[in-house]
Structure 1
Amino acid sequence: MPDALERQVAFLLEADKLKEVVRLNQLASGTRREGTAEHCWHVILQTLTFADHAPDGTDIHHVIKLLTVHDLVEIDAGDHWVDDTNYAAVKARETAAAERLFALLPEAQGAEFKALWLEFEANETDEARFANAMDALHPMVLVFASGLEDPTHAPISVADLRETKEARLSPFPQLWEYAQGLLDQAVKAGRLLP
């Protein structure tokens, strides 16, 4: 087998481990926690569904590429609720994971995938901003729109969650309005602290 193909297969087998990473969010059915690979698929489907909310000229194919690679780092770093107390540590683990995982690929392809991951993290291009919005909205749809009774995280206030989500969602007014409605409903249902 040619070296490039062998490295690509090794990368794909390593990426298969994403199926084993359990996230904090539950499935919409409430029957179990979501896997990261399931999250990736569902957020990509959500992106295709909500593509008309992206700014004119946004390359949705590129958004999908960003979403496809951005959570691969969870193979090593896991899924975390990130706040001021753990931000630096989580980012360090994710960066180390990106270095290791993308180095498995042939050099040029590894550099391309790492560049996609970095673009998502920087959140500066139209495509990265829309990808980040989709990633921020997905757990809200899964948990709050489903009407689950069980909380996903330790008790959190609606104000904290609004602050966490606003920067990523507010550039997309209809989606941000919908997200705020989900938060308001969660407070009324007693699922979020006021």
Structure 2
Amino acid sequence: MTPENLSKQLAFIKEIDKLKYIQRRTKLFNSDRCENSAEHSWHLALMAIVLTEHANEKVDVLKVIKMVLIHDVVEIDAGDTFIYDTQKSHDNTDEERLAAQRIFGLLPEETAQELIAIWEEFEAGETAEAKFARAMDRLEPLLQNSSNNGGTWHEPGVTYDKVFSKKSVIKDGAADLWTYGESLINEGVQKGFLKKNTTD
């Protein structure tokens, strides 16, 4: 370990503290307080550990944990985009790639390249690990909204069709968790928290 490497590692550690200040739209379970992106990432990591048996395929759990812990680090520069935002795409953007290069680039080269590759793999959503990690990412706010009488489902323009479309990604990584998630969405419709139509 060289002093230069340690200096870079500590610079990265200090920089990612900023993720604690990035507010998300979803609120904590049974709460009025919005979750921040660092809390979200921590929660996904524990979910990945606890729910691994539900993955569609055998996954490298450590890699999944790395994915969910770093997937939103780019929000330090790019901010959090609401999944149902109609003005800005929630999908990977050039802005986020630039953020990944800058923030992970604070680290020693080998570590930086590893984390950038893991981040890119998550965004592509093609490997078993990425599919399961993305399932966790979509499941957590679904559970939160269900606990908060609909939560962000009440925001303008959010309908059953949009929620179903965005959340159905869960089935690609964990089909039985999607069965449960779909039941929560339908329950939200029955309780009047979610409108089952295609109009905004």
Question: What secondary structure does 2:25 align onto?
Answer: strand
Partner of 1:6: 7
1:85 to partner: Cα distance: 4.8
Q: 2:59 is matched by which residue type in structure 1?
A: T
Question: For the structure 1 residues 137 and 88, does the alpha-carbon distance in structure 2 shift closer, same or farther, using more than 3 Å as the test?
Answer: closer
1:88 to partner: Cα distance: 8.2
Any residues of structure 2 matched to 1:2-151 within 5 Å, and which? 2-82=3-83, 85-87=87-89, 91-144=93-146, 146-148=147-149, 150-151=151-152
Partner of 1:173: 175
Within 1, Cα distance between the matches of 2:129 and 2:152?
31
Unmatched runs of 5 consecutive residues or more in structure 2: none
**Aligned-pair identity (%):** 38
Question: What secondary structure does 2:56 align onto?
Answer: coil
Question: For the structure 1 residues 180 and 37, does the alpha-carbon distance in structure 2 shift closer, same or farther, using more than 3 Å as the test?
Answer: same
Q: Which string of whole-angstrom CA distances, capped at 9 and with x for unpartnered residues, describes residues 147-176 of structure 1?
A: 43644543411111111121x212322111
Q: Which string of whole-angstrom CA distances, capped at 9 and with x for unpartnered residues, describes residues 117-169 of structure 1?
A: 0010011111111001111111001121x143644543411111111121x21
1:71 to partner: Cα distance: 0.7
Q: How many residues are aligned here?
A: 192
Question: For the structure 1 residues 16 and 91, does the alpha-carbon distance in structure 2 shift closer, same or farther, using more than 3 Å as the test?
Answer: same
The answer on whether the counterparts of 1:155 and 1:193 sit within 8 Å (CA) in structure 2 is no
Q: Which string of whole-angstrom CA distances, capped at 9 and with x for unpartnered residues, describes residues 13-71 of structure 1?
A: 00000011100101112221101000011111111121111134311111101111111
| TM-score for the superposition, normalised by structure 1 | 0.91
Question: What secondary structure does 1:50 align onto?
Answer: helix
Question: What secondary structure does 1:177 align onto?
Answer: helix
1:79 to partner: Cα distance: 1.0
Unmatched runs of 5 consecutive residues or more in structure 1: none
Within 1, Cα distance between the matches of 2:90 and 2:161?
23
